[in-house]
Amino acid sequence: MKTSACLSFALSLFLFCPNDRALGQPGQLFKLGSGKDVNRMPWRDSVYRFSQFQSAVVTYSNKFIHPASVCMNYNAYFEHMFLVDEKGDTLQLQYGPETRTIRMITLGDVDFLHDDRLGYIEVLSAGPVALGAKHNFVLVSTSRRVSVYDFRGERADYVREYKKDVEYFFIGRDNTVYPAFPPTMSKLFPAHKEAIKTFIDDHRINFKQEKDLLLLVDFCNAKATRPLYDTSELFFWPNGKNLSQLPWRKGVYRFTNFVEGRISYADNVSPRSVAALNYNRFTRKMMWIGPGNDTLSVDEAGNIRAVQLDSVLYHREPVRGQYLEVLMRGPVSLGVLETLRLMNRDLEREQLSAAGTIAYPKPQLGDRIYKKNVTYYFIDGSGNAYPATKDAALRLFRTHKKELSAYLHNNTIDYKNQSDLAALLSYCNLVLTKNH
């Protein structure tokens, strides 16, 4: 049996596919005796990816697709492609000037991406970012006590045992191959870094399990192919314009009109009623209508603790002085910080992350684009506020960490979703603290 040959696609050869072959089972050990050739072992057919050789289509890096009809199979032991010639001999597709330009080999309906460093990577899913797998044989033991380099098919005077293994990779939009590690997805989808980290943690993604990785890839691709930001809620501020000239200027306020409010202070200072108050998302300040109908920010020198606007309560957290709208009250309350966030860089990153599939406005020099932004907080009994995260929940309810961990395991929490956070705090406040 020949083990290598240069494949010349200039020849129009008629090649046939041999009969079906039996595959080895996952976890099975394959013993290679002293001085033995793998091609003469009873399990020699188990080295192939497919039970029979497949009709192959070769695509080159210049997108040329060769019309020659050949049958190939991927050999996991040699980590290479093999073909069958017109005589029925099995030949290894040898690297050369022509084969180095191969970009893809399709066996049947399965694509194998050719990477100069890694060899042939089986494509397991569709893009924009795909999951890839490299099948190989791993040396698990030898009859010698010293570490011996395996030359893949070279005869050696020691017994070797192998097992089948799979390495997983992420394949980027430009067909660049990356190891399947957690930081890789954040690099490929920079606009969704936090969402990806939360998804990995909540679903306990095992980066050595194909089903877990497919779940992660599907999640990331879905994020990239739908708008991260609703363009109908983006506020465009052209260079040189004054805020008062913009049609969306009233959108900076929590309420359409200024409303009657009541300001409460710490240190036993008496509350103060104000006829016209409103929260400004842009300045993150409480505003009031002063003398001469001027819009002014509330003087915060009096150590404001809370502001009641109509039926809405605002808690002023003591560290940064931010006004958090209280959405749910309890031993630990749920609050939200509403702001107008500058989105120029985020939109640029999202456009790249989405591979141009989503049309976002492209500002000129000096233009600004804003979006209403909400950040949720947990507020403890002392008025301290913590960004709503899993770690914060476990810290605030540390005396019930076991029960809370079980709840989090059974319920997927989106820490940017008000309903999920309200359900979490309802459980914590009512169930975990009922005996205290």
> Is the previous residue joined to 128 through a cis bond, with omega within 30 degrees of 0?
yes
The whole-angstrom separation of Cα 54 and Cα 74 is 10
The whole-angstrom separation of Cα 93 and Cα 70 is 12
Which residue, among 418, 388, 393, 396, has the nearest Cα to 408 in the 3D structure? 393
The whole-angstrom separation of Cα 186 and Cα 403 is 31
The three-class DSSP label of residue 387 is strand
Question: What pLDDT sits at residue 180?
Answer: 92
- Mapping DSSP onto H, E and C, the string for 121-178 reads EEECCCCCCEEEEEEEEEEEEECCCCCCCCCCCCCCCCCEEEEEEEEEEEECCCCCEE
For the four alpha carbons of 424, 429, 435 and 436, in that order, the dihedral sign comes to positive
- Residue 331 φ/ψ, nearest 5 degrees: -50, -40
Question: What pLDDT sits at residue 95?
Answer: 61
DSSP assignment string, 292-350: GG-EEEPP-TT-EEEEEETTEEEEE-TTT--EEEEEE-SSSEEEEEEEEEE-HHHHHHH
End-to-end CA distance of the chain: 78
Alpha helices in 189-231 (DSSP H): 193-203, 210-224
211: its two tokens: 């089903």
Q: Are 171 and 132 in contact (CB under 8 A)?
A: yes
Question: What pLDDT sits at residue 90?
Answer: 77
Name the pTM for this structure: 0.50
Mean pLDDT by 10 residues, the chain (436 residues): 40 38 57 72 81 85 66 88 79 66 85 89 88 86 58 60 87 87 85 83 90 91 63 78 85 90 84 90 91 84 86 90 93 94 75 52 80 92 92 91 88 90 90 65
Question: What pLDDT sits at residue 194?
Answer: 80
The three-class DSSP label of residue 249 is helix
396: its two tokens: 């605030």
